[in-house]
Amino acid sequence: MDQTVIGIIGMGLMGKMYARKLSAAGWRVHACDMRDKFEALEQEFSDIPRIVIYEDGYGVSRSSDYIIYSVEAEMIDKVVAEYGRATKKHAIVGGQTSCKAPEVAAFERHLPSDVEIVSCHSLHGPNVDPKDQPLVIIKHRASQKAYDLVRNVMACFGSKLVPLTAEEHDQITADTQAVTHAAFLSMGTAWRANNQFPWELTRYVGGIENVKCNITLRIYSNKWHVYAGLAILNPSAKKQIRQYAESVTDLYKLMLGGHKQELEKRIKAAGEFVFNAAGKEGEPLLLSDEVLDQFSLGKVPKERTPNNHLSLLAMVDCWWKLRIVPYDHMICSTPLFRLWLGVTEYLFRKPALLDEVINIAVEDNTFRSDDLEFTFAARGWSDCVSFGDFSSYRDRFEQIQSYFAPRFPEATRVGNEMIRVLLEKT
């Protein structure tokens, strides 16, 4: 390993994961977080000699050859404005935010002209093994030599390196992540509104319900800003989240009004566009009954309560309305997106199950109150994103987070195993 120093400004969960992986691969790492965390970080990494903790980003910027800003998307401009001018001459700078438009704008605005810009984004959370996961590399303002150095640095993660532009990255993350997150955030909001812990109700245990429960808890166990930045700062994401809320509302109204024929026509047209037009007919499903039943937070009942799966129907309807074919972005898909696509595919590519769901949607009232709260929740999250209100987003998220917090450790354990099994199949 040469004498290249990797700088990390922002030692949250992802920053720490990067620091440990890079140092284990032999790279020297200079890192920092907010000044009041200096002593705690210095103590935490005292046994790893290749990681040197600095009090602030000035020291990291002056001493590092490739600097990664691993901060919240909302804060990127402020942080780069403070430390960017101290960047070592001819260094390379990149960011790990989920929305690249404000990140690149901050770099162009505040970095010296001799600094090269090569950004990145690991499309998974800090608790997921990065091996074989997509890792986007963005050569924005850089020589081939600088780009090759960054690729060499990132090789230690064992991830699939995906070259994109900043614009392509933001469009793809909107297509694959924004609506997926909105669906699960809405589920959690609805369950809390009904004062439900879904794994304690037999109608939410087994099969598709296992994915809903596990991934909802997994999302709420993370930091709020992981999802807020992507949703609020990405214009494409706002549009898609709004469409998801409209799809939920439209389908719920058809169910409530008993308009079975119209509902069936719309759902099957959406399914035809997303699944059959994509050439998936005849191909094996991403998820099987055995895999779905394997990961339950509650006891699986002998007989399941049929569900109309409004959240899944609305997802496919949303893709159809926006003309998104989700399979087009599998190379940049997150584990959560693959799980969500897997359960929607499971429903829509089983004609008998889809017909049952349509019948239940119109004729059975078991989930009617749940669906009402889910509709309110989807519209509420859409409004929050449209207003661009980070404070409101955080308040909503953390209230629901505290409600489900006691089950996070178990959900994380089960979720990690579920993702591992899925990745073996995809």
* Residue 206 vs residues 186, 224, 298, 360, 369: alpha-carbon distances, Å: 20, 28, 8, 18, 21
Would you say 218 and 339 are in contact if contact means Cβ atoms under 8 Å apart? no
The alpha helices in 155-272, defined as continuous H runs, are 166-173, 179-193, 208-220, 225-233, 235-257, 260-271
Three-state secondary-structure class, residue 209: helix
- pLDDT class of 20 with cuts at 50, 70, 90: very high
Give the chain's length.
Answer: 426
242 pLDDT higher than 80 = yes
Would you say 421 and 286 are in contact if contact means Cβ atoms under 8 Å apart? no
Question: pLDDT digit string (tens) for 78-136?
Answer: 999 999 999 999 999 999 998 999 999 999 999 999 999 999 999 888 888 899 889 99
Helix, strand, coil percentages in the chain from 3-state DSSP, rounded to 5: 65, 10, 25
Question: pLDDT digit string (tens) for 30-66?
Answer: 999 999 999 999 999 999 999 999 999 999 999 999 9
Share of the chain above pLDDT 90, in %: 66
Query: Whole-angstrom Cα distance, residue 71 to residue 152?
Result: 23
2 pLDDT higher than 90 = no
- pLDDT class of 17 with cuts at 50, 70, 90: very high
Question: pLDDT digit string (tens) for 266-299?
Answer: 999 999 999 986 556 666 766 665 566 555 555 5
Cα 92 to chain center, whole Å?
27
What DSSP letter does each residue of 289-325 carry, written as one string?
HHHHHH--SSPPPSSPPP---HHHHHHHHHHHHHT--
Cα 155 to chain center, whole Å?
22
**For the CA atoms of 307, 209, 184, 395, what is the dihedral angle to 10 degrees?**
100
Tell me whether residue 397 is exposed, middle or buried, using C-beta atoms within 10 angstroms of its C-beta: 0 to 12, 13 to 18, 19 or more. Answer: buried
- pLDDT class of 184 with cuts at 50, 70, 90: very high
Would you say 139 and 162 are in contact if contact means Cβ atoms under 8 Å apart? no
Three-state secondary-structure class, residue 342: helix
Q: What does the DSSP 8-state code read for residue 285? A: P
Rounded to the nearest 5 degrees, what angle is found at the Cα of 103, between the Cα atoms of 101 and 108?
95
